[in-house]
Structure 1
Amino acid sequence: MQVGIFNDESKIGEIGAEIIAPVFIDKPTGVLGLATGSSPLPLYDALVKKVEAGTLSFAQAQAFCLDEYVGLSMEHPEAYRNFIRRVFTARTDFPDSAVHAPAGASDDPYAAAAEYDAQIKAAGGVDVQILGIGSDGHIGFNEPSGSLSSRTHVDFLTEQTRQDNARFFDGNLADVPTACITQGLGTIMEAGKLVLIATGAGKAEAVAQMVEGPVSARWPATVVQFHNDITVLLDEGAASKLTMRDYYAQAWKAQYDQS
């Protein structure tokens, strides 16, 4: 696990884009896994800039969203397929037909979850998965106490997650769905490369558990300790509870700042 700590979110976005872009330059037909929420937005902006500059293209690529709310209309602006198009893919040369999300509005979300997992496998798997982390340690919508080897499935959102996401629903908790379809932890762990972004002091405990704590279903993100190619990009707030910061800085400099 490589841990980078930076002073501002724009720098995090630029570093993340520098890690991701070579994968799709070498493999234009690659598969990108997309996370929603606020943390990845600077990364998406940085990738858009590369596409606009002509140094990166997603014209032959595919994308798979991590998750989707259950029961939310496909036309709702906060449906994750719409969020991702708005903040990222519609600003690039991604074909709209190549951007996939779970069918959260399906009459049978359990069948839709299994179908989505199969769809990812049929695409050859995810080459790079972008991740955020919830304040309770969830990645995707894999809430605490779930299986660390789960496949794409229906899950139910904790009160904390719903409160955290109410900001996307004008602060109205009653409008936040209570269930979702999410890629499972086992599904996420099959991606070739993971890039996880966390910002703000509200994520500090979850980040400390993920990076330095024991692997536990109480903190689902701790499962990424078993991945052999993960980069964690943090701001000062999110990194504030880490105890080995000096080592992470030393290791980052040795790997990335040798010029």
Structure 2
Amino acid sequence: MEVIVVERPEDAAPIVADAYSRLLAAKPDAVLGLATGSTPLGVYDELVRRYEAGELTFASARAFLLDEYVGLPADHPERYRAFIERVFTGRVDLRPDAVQGPDGLAEDLSAAGVAYDAAIREAGGIDLQILGIGADGHLAFNMPMSSLTSRTRLKTLTPKTRLDNARFFDDDLDQVPRHCLTQGLGTIMESRHAVMLGFGLNKAQAVRECVEGAVSARWPASVLQLHPHATVVVDAEAASQLTFREYYRTTYDGKPDWQGI
């Protein structure tokens, strides 16, 4: 696991975008794993900027989402498929039919999870998966005590998660879905490169536990310690509880430019 400490969240965007640029230059038909939420927005904006400047193209790429609400109508603006189109995929040249998410409207949700994992495998697997860490260490909707080998499946949203997300539903908790389909930790671990972002003091404990603590279902993101190519990019606040933060700074500063992340 490589840990990169930057001063501010916005400093992470060009570092992660460089990884996308290198990947797409070497493999134009790369398979991208996309996260929703506010954490990766700076990266998406930087990728859009590079696309508009003619520096990269997504025309031959494919993308898979981490998760999706269950039961929201196909035209609902808060579906994660709609969200990712607003903030990223609809702003670049990714073909609409090249972007896929879990089927939150499936009649058989268990079968939909199995089918989603199969679709990722059939696409050749995810080359670069972007992730955000939750304050409790969750990845996607794999909350604490999720199996470290879990697959795409139905999960019940916790009361806190639903309350946090109510702001997207006119602060009406009754409108917030109770369930989602999410990639499992085992699914995420099959990506070739996993990039996890964490910003702010409220993420500091989770970052410490998941980077320097024991691998444990209590802190789901700690499973990335076992990933063959995991990169963690955190700002100074999120890194504030890391024992080896100066070591991480020194080793990253000493990397040759050609190596990337």
Structure 1 stretches lacking a partner, 5+ long: none
Q: What TM-score, normalized to structure 2?
A: 0.95
Q: Which residue of 2 aligns with 1:242?
A: 242
Q: Which residue of 1 aligns with 2:173?
A: 173
Q: Deviations over 1:53-107 (max 9, x none)?
A: 1111110000000000111122111100000000000000000000000110222
Aligned mates of 2:144, 2:166 — CA distance in 1: 19
Aligned mates of 1:184, 1:221 — CA distance in 2: 11
Say whether the 8 Å CA contact 1:156–1:179 is kept in structure 2: yes
2:95 aligned with 1:95: yes
Instruction: Sort the Cα spacing of 1:60 and 1:157 in 2 relative to 1 into closer, same or farther, 3 A.
Output: same
Q: Which residue of 2 aligns with 1:121?
A: 121
1:134, distance to aligned residue in structure 2 (A): 1.2
Instruction: Sort the Cα spacing of 1:178 and 1:247 in 2 relative to 1 into closer, same or farther, 3 A.
Output: same
Q: Which residue of 2 aligns with 1:52?
A: 52
1:179, distance to aligned residue in structure 2 (A): 1.0
Say whether the 8 Å CA contact 1:65–1:100 is kept in structure 2: yes
For residue 204 of structure 2, give the secondary structure of its aligned residue in structure 1: helix
Q: Which residue of 2 aligns with 1:83?
A: 83
Matches within 5 A, 1:117-196: 117-196=117-196
Say whether the 8 Å CA contact 1:152–1:181 is kept in structure 2: yes
For residue 246 of structure 1, give the secondary structure of its aligned residue in structure 2: helix
Aligned mates of 2:204, 2:157 — CA distance in 1: 21
1:6, distance to aligned residue in structure 2 (A): 1.6
1:256, distance to aligned residue in structure 2 (A): 5.2
Aligned mates of 2:39, 2:25 — CA distance in 1: 24
Aligned mates of 1:80, 1:4 — CA distance in 2: 28
Aligned mates of 2:203, 2:165 — CA distance in 1: 14
Q: Which residue of 1 aligns with 2:14?
A: 14
For residue 58 of structure 2, give the secondary structure of its aligned residue in structure 1: coil
Give the letter for the 1:227 counterpart: H
Aligned mates of 1:34, 1:247 — CA distance in 2: 30
- Which region of structure 1 is more displaced relative to structure 2, 122-131 or 142-151? 142-151
1:257, distance to aligned residue in structure 2 (A): 6.4
Q: Which residue of 1 aligns with 2:37?
A: 37
Matches within 5 A, 1:69-80: 69-80=69-80
Aligned mates of 1:45, 1:151 — CA distance in 2: 30
Q: What TM-score, normalized to structure 1?
A: 0.95
Say whether the 8 Å CA contact 1:2–1:251 is kept in structure 2: no
Aligned mates of 2:31, 2:257 — CA distance in 1: 28
Give the letter for the 2:29 counterpart: T
Q: How many residues align?
A: 259
Aligned mates of 1:36, 1:240 — CA distance in 2: 25
Aligned mates of 1:227, 1:70 — CA distance in 2: 29
Aligned mates of 1:174, 1:88 — CA distance in 2: 28
Give the letter for the 1:206 counterpart: A
Aligned mates of 1:171, 1:208 — CA distance in 2: 32
Q: Which residue of 2 aligns with 1:220?
A: 220
